[in-house]
Amino acid sequence: MKNKIYTLIIAAALMTTAKAQQFNIKAGLNVYSMLVEFSDNTPFELKSTNLMGIHAGGSFDYFLNDQLSVEMGLLYMQKGYSGSDEFEIDPILLPGTKGTVNFDFRLHYLDIPLQMKYRFGNRDVRFYVAAGPYIGIGLDGTIKFEAKSDFPGIEPEANEESIKWGDDPNNDMLKRLEFGVCGGGGIEYNNFLLGINYAYGLNNISSSSTEGTLKNRVFGISLGYIINKQ
């Protein structure tokens, strides 16, 4: 994974020395969730719901010709998920008594996408489609947990703590590095751009693979400004 990051950094350094460059700054909204799959040993069937957040950053294009370019970005991204599950506490001792568990992950990432971009139209108004891989680096995050029951006398329990990043299944929560594929499209009007993008996480970011699978899913819409338009 480190080799992939180094490769992207070297590619960025080489591309910034090229003459045919276009720099873009952008920001927008994310609608995000996760693919959540718990193992058979986990008593939950939690389904995630969509959350809203933001993204912001910049990118540059190295033009191969008038229509084709390679775009590399550096973006702050909000990701995560929220979900709940209702279950029967003990069908023998407490028949009919149900409990509810709620999870809420709020994660902050630095994403490095590398996409091939194809344009069509004229220089003033042109459309584009783009696709390629990305690497995400976890920066910070919190998890909120709440459990409650409809049984009289049982008080709800709630807790919030910071995400522990790492690969140790005994001490850590989430892996810091994420990789996936992304794609989208949009329009460039003079020096302004409007685009959409979808990021599909491929690796399991849960530090404990025996407990289940967590994979990020992010849909974004961006507004931006083009510097040094080509």
Choose between 9 and 54: higher pLDDT: 54
pLDDT at position 29 over 50? yes
> Alpha helices of the chain — where are they, by DSSP H?
2-16
Provide the CATH number for the domain around residue 146: 2.40.160
C-alpha 226/C-alpha 230 separation (Å) is 9
pLDDT tens digits for 152-164? 666 777 888 899 9
SS3 of residue 8 by DSSP: helix
Contact yes or no for 57/73 (Cβ under 8 A): yes
Look at the chain and report how many structural domains it folds into.
1
Choose between 89 and 221: higher pLDDT: 221
Domain span at residue 30 reads 2-227
Q: Is the CA virtual torsion 201, 207, 208, 209 positive or negative? A: positive
pLDDT tens digits for 171-216? 889 999 999 999 999 999 999 999 999 999 999 998 886 667 889 9
By DSSP bridging, strand 125-149 and strand 94-121 are antiparallel
Tokens of 222: 């961006």
